[in-house]
Structure formats: structure tokens, C-alpha cells
Amino acid sequence: MSDIKLKIYPAQNGDSFLLSAGNTYLLIDGGYVNTYENFILRDLKSLADAGEALSHVIVTHMDQDHISGLLKLFEQNKAEDFIGIGNVWHNSYRHINPEQEEEKAIVKNEELEEIKGGAYLKKVSSDEETPIGAIQGSSLAAFLLEGKYPWNAEFGGRAVATDNGQHILLTEDIRLTLLSPNIEKLRKLERAWRKELIKKGYLNGLSETGYYDDAFEFMVAKHRERPRYREKKIAKATPDIANLASQSFLEDTTAANGSSMAFIIEYKTIKLLFLGDAHPGIVAENLKSLYKPEDFPVRFDLIKTSHHGSWANNSPELYSLIDSPSYVFSTNGLGHNHPDDETIAHIVSRKSEYTRKLFFNYPLEKAKAFDESSLREEYNYEIIQADGETPLEISF
């Protein structure tokens, strides 16, 4: 039996992973509502039937493609208490601004009622995103408070941020090293949130209602990333890897992605790197503070690429510091057309003594284009594509 297993759920253009290390189980993000209903729920009930529980639920950040399924999990667990959850990592407004100063945020009455109703959820079917409204009466923050879950406990109830702690023992055998976010990234998200409230013309009264967490979660989860306009290239049957890998890089600056958790998980001799949707600059900065120059590139057993393989989140600098025989791309390619060709090309173009394996949890035309025998032989890599209907599992 393998010591560690990673289950990569079909989460459309989102993320959701179940990591088992020995008898410890961690759920990292929850995809959309149908990710939970079609896959996560069944697995969690099986764990509960076997007398197991989740050690941690890690909410890397509040984008809908990461949080919607977790809202359904906590809603159902509130009603049925069907699985134990030992700890939750989730940054809400109370962690960014613990004082909750008497700021006069301006909220429309009808919007405030919607905020009281809970976070906005989405299902995704094929290429259609379907809003299914709000969970009545709660947000993720409210579910955690009502359920009395240990919330950011390893950080003393403060924000999950590198300023508040970096080396965390999740269990006696599992060590986590946090690489993103820092407080500065979280405060940038808070400023963006407050600006959005004001822009929407909200009325006075939010500070008296106590709905800061709900409003914060509601607005951030509804955030839709603006498309990054890039020069369109004529598609070629066979990608020009050398040319793609040499393209100029411009880092993601969105506040929501900047708030994303990124971390290393170590269990026995296995070392995994989960990049969430994080900005690559802060990850590179922290890696350089953790390792000696002669340690680079640091070899991980698996790397989950940042932001579904977006080129703006997977920089040449970052990949000069890290490498792995296994890379994971979690996306169906819809929405923002991830992953970017440049990211794939940059990963495979580096010389390596081992054959890199690129795992895709959906069949993608982009992956198919790179699955060319001459390219695989020249650059020493493999393409593994799942069917998009069943979870992709990797064991170590």
C-alpha cells in the first residue's frame, strides 16, 4: 500500500484535491458545487463509514472555483454531522482586519439581505456556469463559527500568512511549509473588497450589522478575473517548445490570486508542492529564504502548477528554483483557456535526468498537441490525460 495518495477531482476549471498520508486525510479546496455532489461527498462518506475523519480542510482562497464545493460540504455537515473535521484553514475578513474598525462601508439594503443569505454559489456543467443562488442563512465563516471548528488554529486564530507562521506540524508525521500569502497580499485583497463595496453604492450600516465576514466572502467569491489580453498566435500542429519557452513573462497582479495559499507538504521522504493560484514572485522569494543557493532547483515529488497552468502564475524565475518528475494541471481548459502553452513549454524545455510526467485531469487539445512523439523524445516527458469523468489518482 502506498504511503501517500493524491486524488485530483474533476473540478471543471477549478481545484479540488484529497490527500491521504498514512491514515491522515486533507481536503484542499472544493471546486464547484457539482464537484462536491459528484465526487467529494461519496469519498467523505466512505471515509466516515471506515471510522476516519478529515484532519484539515484547506481553503486556499475564495474564488468560486475553489470554495463553492466546500460551502456545500459545511452546509451538509451542519445538518448531518456526517464526517469529523479536525481543523480548517480559511482567511476571512476577521483575519485580515481583526479589529473590525468602525468603517462606514456603504451597503444597499437588498444587497445586505443577499449577503445575510450566504455566499454565492455556482455549478458548472460543460462550458456553462450556472448560478444557483445563496446558501440560506450562512457563509463559510458562519458555518465555521456555528460548528465551532478549530479555525486557523495553528496560527493562533490569526490569518494563514507567512508573517504569522511558516513551518507547521499538521500531525506528528506531516509538515507543512507555507509559501504564500503574506499579510501584505491579504491587505491588498481587503482594499479591493472595500473599493468594490463603495463602487456598488452601498448604504451606511455594515459596521453595525456584524456581517463583515459574510460581505467579504460574498464579494470576493463573486469576483471574476478579467481576461489577460495577449497576442494571438497562429496555432501550429506541433508546438514550437523553444520559442514558447522564451516568451516574455508578466506576473499576475490580481488581489484574489495574491491571497492564495501555496505550501510544501512533507510526509516521510515525500515532498509535494501545492501552488494554489498564488503569485510566483512571493513563492520564489520564500523558497530563496528557505534553501541554500546550492540546493536549487529543489526537487519535489509532485508540483501542482499555479492557477491551472496560467503563464502569469508560473514564472521562469520560479521554475529555475523548483523541479519535479510529476506536474499536475487541474482544469478543463474552459473559461480562461488554461493551461497556457508557455507554461507547458517552459516546464518540459529544461534538461532533466528523469522523464517528467505532466498530468491533466481532463482531456485537452493543448495536451494532445504536446503529446507528439518527436517532442516527447527530444524533451524527455510524458503526457497523462484523465477522462474528466473520474478522479485522477497519483500514489507515492
Average pLDDT over residues 189-199: 76
- Give pLDDT tens digits for 238-280: 899 999 999 999 999 999 999 999 999 999 999 999 999 999 9
Apex CA 132: angle with CA 192 and CA 96, to 5°? Answer: 25
CA 21 to chain centre: 19
As a whole number of angstroms, the distance between CA 13 and CA 311 comes to 15
- Give pLDDT tens digits for 82-104: 999 999 999 988 888 765 544 44
pLDDT band for 134, please (50, 70, 90 cuts): very low
As a whole number of angstroms, the distance between CA 11 and CA 277 comes to 14
What is the percentage of the chain residues whose pLDDT exceeds 90?
70
The alpha carbon dihedral of 343, 344, 350, 353 has a sign of positive
For the chain, how many residues are written?
396
The residue type found at 35 is: T
Average pLDDT value for the chain: 87
pLDDT at 258: 96
pLDDT band for 207, please (50, 70, 90 cuts): low
DSSP 8-class letter at 29: -
Residue pair 352/323 in contact (Cβ under 8 Å)? The answer is yes
Instruction: Inform me whether the pLDDT recorded for 194 exceeds 50.
Output: yes
Residue 295, all three cell numbers: 540546493
pLDDT band for 217, please (50, 70, 90 cuts): confident
- The set of residues, in sequence order, having a beta carbon less than 8 Å from that of 272 and lying 6+ positions away, is 4, 6, 19, 264, 265, 266, 300, 301, 302, 303, 304
pLDDT band for 193, please (50, 70, 90 cuts): confident
How far from 384 is each of 1, 129, 202, 264, 328, CA to CA, in Å?
22, 27, 49, 23, 10
pLDDT at 382: 98
Residue 245, all three cell numbers: 519557452
Instruction: Inform me whether the pLDDT recorded for 390 exceeds 50.
Output: yes
pLDDT at 224: 58
Instruction: Inform me whether the pLDDT recorded for 112 exceeds 80.
Output: no
As a whole number of angstroms, the distance between CA 396 and CA 114 comes to 45
pLDDT band for 124, please (50, 70, 90 cuts): low
Query: What DSSP line would sit under 44-75, residue for residue?
Result: HHHHHHTT--EEEEE-----HHHHHHHHHHHH
Average pLDDT over residues 311-324: 98
pLDDT at 231: 47
The alpha carbon dihedral of 188, 119, 210, 114 has a sign of positive
As a whole number of angstroms, the distance between CA 340 and CA 332 comes to 12
Average pLDDT over residues 343-370: 96
Q: Which of 17, 27, 140, 136 shows the shortest CA–CA distance to 84?
A: 27
How far from 20 is each of 44, 55, 182, 266, 393, CA to CA, in Å?
12, 10, 27, 12, 11
As a whole number of angstroms, the distance between CA 352 and CA 334 comes to 31
Average pLDDT over residues 63-76: 92
As a whole number of angstroms, the distance between CA 129 and CA 14 comes to 12
As a whole number of angstroms, the distance between CA 184 and CA 259 comes to 9
Average pLDDT over residues 103-116: 49
Which of 194-208, 236-250, 296-310 is predicted with the least confidence, judged by mean pLDDT? 194-208
The residue type found at 124 is: V
As a whole number of angstroms, the distance between CA 95 and CA 109 comes to 26
